[in-house]
Chain A
Amino acid sequence: MSPPLLDVAGLNVRFATSTGAVHAVRDLSFSLRAGESLGIVGESGSGKSQAVLALTGLLADNGRASGSARLEGSDLITLDQQEMNRVRGPRISMIFQDPMTSLNPYLSVGRQMSLALRAHRAIGEQAARKEAAEMLETVGIPEAARRIEQYPHELSGGMRQRVMIATALLLRPALLIADEPTTALDVTVQAQILGLMSDLRERYGTAIIIITHDLSVVAGLADRILVMQRGEKIEEGPVDAIFAQPQQAYTRSLLAAVPRFDRPIQGTPPRMKHATKPILAAESVRVEFPVADRAWFRPRRLLRAVDDVSFQLEAGEILGVVGESGCGKSTLGRAVLQLVPVSAGRVSFLGADDAQSLRRDLQVVFQDPLASLNPRMTIRDVVAEPLEVHEPTMGDKDRTNKVADMLSRVGLDPSLMNRYPHQFSGGQCQRVAIARALITRPKLVVCDEAVSALDVSVREQILRLMLELRRLLDLSLIFIGHDLAVIRQISQRVMVMYLGRVMEIAAADQLFTNPQHPYTQALISAVPIPDPVVERARKREGLRGELPSPLAPPSGCVFRTRCAFAIARCATEVPALRLAGASQVACHRAGEVFQGR
């Protein structure tokens, strides 16, 4: 057998901080053959990113790596800056999570790519650009000759990540390291990028290390999986073995925490009984924003974020709202909360007469738990604030008692109430945000991506907590998210949005097992499934093309430009929501295309 391409032995990474040394990676060893792909999986703080940053010499200044990491004979740990520069690029390339921040906004795509190429090869600018354009074609960017003159902000997120991958592959490295390459991307784009990476690996024989917190991302792509926790390797093995027979309890818990929507889930909320009273009704809601355009005497352009959305929410119901970024789901949530003005149509919240009691009955939990808590207020003050506003007559002592009670309900120790948000973990901060939302005993809570920023195991706990509190406090929930598996796990009814419009509304089971709209179908097929066997066998019916600009949405059906079933009528007539089977679908061909599925 040929010697391994990369052989890491006894890798340790330590950081010197003001509060003492942090041992981020402990005694990590693994090896990688040429052309092999390894998935490194772990939750935040597991040291997975620091391990590969150590390999590429990109550790922060206070970090020190020890051990050995042999790449084709040379030890990466001991290389000096100059030698390392000769390795980075031609031998190892890296792509990062956020393609916007890893591209320089002041350089055109072609310039950035030619810089990378010319740093390592004696080649003219023209020739370099030509090669860059060819590589862009290879990674599936149409009209590469035009794109190469564009700047990063002119490209979509998926395009940018393709540019990153093209840049990384320009020098034909033996090893490509991808650190959460699809985490910042939408699920349909994620499917495209994962497909691309696996194609390129076959084509160039590049070895890949893919780092992720999401086991389902690596199920179809990796040959082997390495699981890390708190800086240590917990388990390593072939992908099938890890998924089929995980040896370690931690791996099992990680797998169990990944929501699967191809299988029925335990603990799904009960089907709702009908004939309850609706508590929220949205009728033809439209939300428009003027686009910042500083030029004078030019008509103001309007961005229609939400267009003609109607739905009802019944008391005690959990409605999931799902869609890709830019589909208007968060704006809809803000319109329901009356945080943004509605341009047309109306949202009526039944049971609240005046604005103040409406605020009391309507609460919100946001995505980023730390950002949604004022860093200069103690936890006690954060949770007490709605009480101070809505029950100004309540005494300080009663208020503190109520806060303590609510904190223990969400699973936090009330004795921590004088601490500040930064002293808590992400999951704990989200519990605080939930406590704040629930302290006034609201009737409806809007959860805007409330678990998206959390690790899988924490996510599971928070979802359980929400379901339990909902039962105890008789809440209705609007759960906005992009993660279909999570939405399926928690919702009773699901609404799918695309470019500001509703595509489909149906009961959760119905929607996920028998989707009626082509877009719903595409979304579901794009979700990776944490099972290598299923994942490899699956034929992707991924979405082609790019999301149209919301400033100039297509005429007629907004989805038609990416729809495989579009007909002439789709371009002229906006489809209305109508009943097809048990779902409400906005598609002219609903019931015709997917009948029998």
Chain B
Amino acid sequence: MTDLSPRSLWQDAWDALRLNRAAMAALWMLGILVAAVLILPLLLPWTYEQTDWDAIATAPSIASGHWFGTDSLGRDLLVRTLWGGRISLLVAFVATGVSLAIGITWGAIAGYVGGRLDQLMMRVVDILYALPFMFLVILLMVLFGRNIFLIFVAIGAINWLDMARIVRGQTLSLKNREFVEAARAGGVPASRIIRRHIVPNLLGVVVVYVTLTIPHVIIVESFLSFLGLGVQEPMTSWGALVNEGAQELETSWWMIVFPGVLLAATLYCFNFLGDGLRDALDPRDRSGT
């Protein structure tokens, strides 16, 4: 007896994703990483700003308790890497989430409704594009003072523009497809057409774009930190750690290797997960047809 209970795209996508080994491994890795950056700092004897005067710029060693070594100020690199992970992942998730939410909604509405509204909405995007990013960040800093939250706002405010353009373009080609026309003829309201017909068919492109956005956001954050506009010492992020490590490369290799490897591993995981999601969300790409 076959199961006749209705199935949703998401259930089917999850089932398909579970069969994708690379994507599942990436998902586990990311899960472990998130758990580690959340829990481990509580268990370690050091804090991110505490200097160990007995160990300035020492190499990793089990004996001293500094498993990742220490930096030039004697701070434990393991704790700092974990704290950096918190900040970097938070920026990645929040900024990408913001750009996804605004970008998809904005682009899908502009593309689907079309006409004057489309012109108006896309001119807004153009104007925001024309705003220099650094100027925006500095302006925010001046107005509201230094705050990590402002970085999310600034990155999110710029990133959704690309997303909106991509989504609008896709929507324009989707809205003339016959299945959308059939839905319109069937009396399906516009909001529901966007939700059920347009957005699910955009997911492939969106997921690919997100896997590009997350690394980009992490790197932009480290760039801002480098300029002194991002996270403030002694707080840190992966970008800031890699940046510091790069300066000490000749004397202290560990300072770049540990945060660098974690950063790279995270980006790889997002890529694999993104590929897996894209395939899982497209019924045509699933195996076993």
Interface size on B, residues (CB 8 A): 33
CB neighbors of A among B177-201 (8 A): 177-179, 181-189, 192, 196-197, 200-201
B284 and A420 form a contact (CB under 8 A): yes
Q: Which residues of A contact B5 (CB under 8 A)?
A: 400
Q: Does A368 contact B (CB under 8 A)?
A: yes
Given the interface pairs A376-B9, A422-B283, A422-B284, the reply to whether A385 lies near B183 with Cβ below 8 Å is yes
B220 to chain A, nearest CB (A): 32
Which residue of chain A lies nearest to B3 when distances are taken between CB atoms in the complex? A418
Which residue of chain B lies nearest to A357 when distances are taken between CB atoms in the complex? B187
Could you give, for residues 370-407 of chain A, a 1 whenever the CB lies within 8 Å of some chain B CB and a 0 otherwise? 01111111101100111001100000100010001000
A368 and B187 form a contact (CB under 8 A): no
- Bound: A373/B200 CA distance, A: 13
Could you give, for residues 217-250 of chain A, a 1 whenever the CB lies within 8 Å of some chain B CB and a 0 otherwise? 0000000000000000000000000000000000
B174 to chain A, nearest CB (A): 10
Q: Which residues of B contact A364 (CB under 8 A)?
A: 181-182, 185-186
Given the interface pairs A376-B9, A418-B7, the reply to whether A356 lies near B187 with Cβ below 8 Å is yes
Given the interface pairs A386-B186, A420-B283, the reply to whether A381 lies near B181 with Cβ below 8 Å is no
Q: Which residues of A contact B181 (CB under 8 A)?
A: 339, 364, 366, 372
Q: Does B281 contact A (CB under 8 A)?
A: yes
- Bound: A351/B117 CA distance, A: 34
- Bound: A359/B7 CA distance, A: 27
- Bound: A404/B179 CA distance, A: 21
A378 and B6 form a contact (CB under 8 A): yes
A294 to chain B, nearest CB (A): 13
Q: Does A362 contact B (CB under 8 A)?
A: yes
- Bound: A302/B109 CA distance, A: 27
Interface size on A, residues (CB 8 A): 45
Q: Tally the A-B contacts, defined by beta carbons under 8 Å.
A: 105
Q: Does A345 contact B (CB under 8 A)?
A: no
Could you give, for residues 194-221 of chain B, a 1 whenever the CB lies within 8 Å of some chain A CB and a 0 otherwise? 0011001101000000000000000000
| Interface residue from B185, B189, B283 paired with A339 (Cβ < 8 Å) | B185
B187 and A386 form a contact (CB under 8 A): yes
| Interface residue from B189, B281, B284 paired with A389 (Cβ < 8 Å) | B189
Q: Which residues of A contact B179 (CB under 8 A)?
A: 371-375
Q: Which residues of B contact A206 (CB under 8 A)?
A: none
- Bound: A239/B182 CA distance, A: 42
A385 and B289 form a contact (CB under 8 A): no
Which residue of chain A lies nearest to B199 when distances are taken between CB atoms in the complex? A376
- Bound: A437/B178 CA distance, A: 13
Given the interface pairs A339-B185, A363-B185, A420-B284, the reply to whether A376 lies near B178 with Cβ below 8 Å is no
Q: Which residues of B contact A362 (CB under 8 A)?
A: 185
Q: Does A436 contact B (CB under 8 A)?
A: yes
CB neighbors of B among A537-557 (8 A): none
| Interface residue from A359, A374, A381, A423 paired with B6 (Cβ < 8 Å) | A381
- Give the secondary structure class of B's interface: helix
Which residue of chain B lies nearest to A365 when distances are taken between CB atoms in the complex? B182
Q: Which residues of B contact A377 (CB under 8 A)?
A: 9, 196-197, 200
Q: Choose among B177, B200, B283 the residue with the greatest number of A CB atoms under 10 Å from its CB.
A: B283
Q: Does A433 contact B (CB under 8 A)?
A: yes
Q: Does B118 contact A (CB under 8 A)?
A: no
Q: Which residues of B contact A437 (CB under 8 A)?
A: 186
A380 and B6 form a contact (CB under 8 A): yes
CB neighbors of B among A409-423 (8 A): 414-415, 417-418, 420, 422-423
Given the interface pairs A339-B181, A385-B196, A389-B192, the reply to whether A376 lies near B282 with Cβ below 8 Å is yes
A371 and B201 form a contact (CB under 8 A): no
- Bound: A418/B15 CA distance, A: 14
A415 and B4 form a contact (CB under 8 A): yes
Which residue of chain A lies nearest to B178 when distances are taken between CB atoms in the complex? A372
| Interface residue from A368, A390, A420 paired with B178 (Cβ < 8 Å) | A368
8 nearest A-B residue pairs (beta carbon): A359-B187, A420-B283, A372-B178, A364-B185, A376-B200, A415-B2, A386-B186, A374-B179
A: residues with CB less than 8 A from B are 18-19, 337, 339, 355-356, 358-360, 362-364, 366-368, 371-378, 380-381, 384-386, 389-390, 396, 400, 404, 414-415, 417-418, 420, 422-423, 433, 436-437, 440, 446
Could you name 6 residue pairs across A and B whose Cβ atoms are closer than 8 Å?
Answer: A339-B185, A355-B187, A358-B187, A368-B178, A423-B283, A436-B182
Task: Given contact pairs A376-B203, A389-B189, enumerate 18 new A-B contacts (beta carbons under 8 Å).
Answer: A18-B287, A364-B186, A372-B181, A372-B182, A374-B179, A374-B196, A375-B201, A375-B282, A375-B284, A376-B281, A377-B197, A378-B7, A384-B6, A385-B183, A389-B188, A415-B4, A417-B4, A418-B7
